[in-house]
Amino acid sequence: FAPWADPDAVPFIRFDDVTKRFGDQAAVADLSLDIYQGEFFCLLGPSGCGKSTLMRMLAGFEAPTRGRVLLDGADLAGVAPNRRPVNMMFQSYALFPHMSVEKNIAYGLRQEGMARDAIAARVADMLKLVQMERFAGRAPDQLSGGQKQRVALARALAKRPRVLLLDEPLGALDRKLREETQFELMDIQIALGTTFIVVTHDQEEAMTMADRIAVMDAGRVVQVATPGEIYEQPASRFVADFVGEINLFEARVSGGGDDSSWELAALSGETRFRVADPDARLGAGDHVAVAVRPEKMRVTREAPGEAFNSLAGEIWDIGYLGDWTVYRIKLDTGQIIRVTRANATRYTENPLAMEERVHVAFAPDTAVILSD
């Protein structure tokens, strides 16, 4: 499933050069974005970057100041929210407290004037979909947070919208339930084939669930790609830093380029870097950052004996996580980096100790070069 990679695929939702101003502040600025039918799409970004505003324009609660929002090729301008095949599930769930689970799910269908039998059948389908059949008669205040979340989802899906917008859908759940629910949401989305657009500021959640992620910063989309591409080939320092952990080494380009392999000199210390990055477009002397994810670095007691990508320092902090150990290492340059090691063998066998002197190295094709 990768319609975005097909040049002939027609986007289902298109934000065409959209700006939304509140007073003199642009919440969304000159933003263009295509989303395809059946995608599980995540909008990821820090608080205030414009995620909710973008969703509200698609749902019809806000009108763009400039630009167009298209669905199936048709401009949505002037189409009322209840006339759009788009539904929104809010973080607060907004269940009606005086109505049973069943009545909550049926509410929108009644408003639409659907026949009684059809409503009963649809509600039964929805209860089954979210595995809440046993709770049909309960009131919302007799449900746990996770159960409320399922009812809200069932209610939002009952009218069979073509697009479901979920604003921080799992924000109220604890960590374990949150993770379980992520996989359930993915299963439900695949079963229905409905286009899901999830707003989140939780990068792990976006990585887990999304077919593609749009990373937003200050009203703009700064990268749109699959979770793997966002993590392995971040487009900028902002994306690299916002999604996952990364070590940045400030450096100057000293040569190379022909076979997409670059040589660079660290601005601090003597380290020379060699990085194979097919996306880099550089000139000699450019100031850039060599970026390496913590799990891609090797820590050893002996010097690796390689001319490139070798750094020395001492163990500064150790965080044992069971499956992983996180080391913070203070390099001789003073920079503190983060290196993770999978505890594939028993951690207690010959572990690295605090203040131990170590060497850190990485392979040229595990780093990326970031110019901005």
Binding of ligand ATP at residue 47 (CB under 6 A)?
A: yes
- Tokens 């194979």 belong to 276
Q: Which stretch binds ligand ATP (CB under 6 A): 10-18, 50-58, 340-348, 354-362?
A: 50-58
Least distance between ligand ATP and beta carbon 198 (Å): 12
Binding of ligand ATP at residue 11 (CB under 6 A)?
A: no
In 10 A of CB 274, how many CB atoms?
Answer: 19
Least distance between ligand ATP and beta carbon 364 (Å): 37
Pattern 197-236, ligand ATP, x by CB under 6 A: ----x-----------------------------------
Least distance between ligand ATP and beta carbon 230 (Å): 17
Our CB check for ligand ATP shows the closer of 45 and 161 to be 45
Amino acid at 83: R
Binding of ligand ATP at residue 51 (CB under 6 A)?
A: yes
Our CB check for ligand ATP shows the closer of 49 and 280 to be 49
Positive or negative: CA dihedral 364, 367, 368, 372: negative
**What residue ranges in the chain does DSSP mark as E strands?**
13-22, 25-35, 40-44, 66-71, 74-75, 86-89, 163-167, 195-200, 212-217, 220-225, 247-256, 261-266, 272-276, 287-292, 298-300, 310-320, 324-331, 336-342, 357-361, 367-370
Tokens representing 149 are 């979340």
- Tokens 């509200």 belong to 56
Q: Which stretch binds ligand ATP (CB under 6 A): 49-57, 66-74, 116-124, 250-258?
A: 49-57
Q: Return left, alpha or beta for 22; rule: phi > 0 is left, psi -120 to 50 is alpha, else beta.
A: beta
| Helices and strands in the chain: count of H runs, count of E runs | 8, 20
How many residues touch ligand ATP (CB under 6 A)? 11
Q: In the chain, what is the greatest distance between 2 CA atoms, to the nearest angstrom?
A: 77
**What residue ranges in 133-234 does DSSP mark as E strands?**
163-167, 195-200, 212-217, 220-225
Task: Give the DSSP letter of residue 143.
Answer: S
Alpha-carbon distance of 15 to 143, in angstroms, equals 38
Q: Which stretch binds ligand ATP (CB under 6 A): 44-52, 93-101, 247-255, 323-331?
A: 44-52
Residues 126-165 within binding reach of ligand ATP (CB under 6 A) = none
Our CB check for ligand ATP shows the closer of 43 and 188 to be 43
Contact predicate 310/274, CB 8 Å: no
Q: 3, 11, 14, 27: which one contacts ligand ATP (CB under 6 A)?
A: 27
In 10 A of CB 183, how many CB atoms?
Answer: 11
In 10 A of CB 12, how many CB atoms?
Answer: 19
Q: 45, 67, 161, 294: which one contacts ligand ATP (CB under 6 A)?
A: 45
Least distance between ligand ATP and beta carbon 128 (Å): 32
Side-chain half-sphere exposure of 247, counting CA atoms within 13 A? 25
Binding of ligand ATP at residue 96 (CB under 6 A)?
A: no
Binding of ligand ATP at residue 49 (CB under 6 A)?
A: yes
Q: Which stretch binds ligand ATP (CB under 6 A): 40-48, 100-108, 235-243, 351-359?
A: 40-48
Least distance between ligand ATP and beta carbon 5 (Å): 27
Our CB check for ligand ATP shows the closer of 170 and 360 to be 170
Our CB check for ligand ATP shows the closer of 56 and 84 to be 56
* CA distances for 315 relative to 175, 332, 363, angstroms: 30, 11, 21
Binding of ligand ATP at residue 60 (CB under 6 A)?
A: no
**Residues at the interface with ligand ATP (CB under 6 A):** 22, 27, 45, 47-53, 201
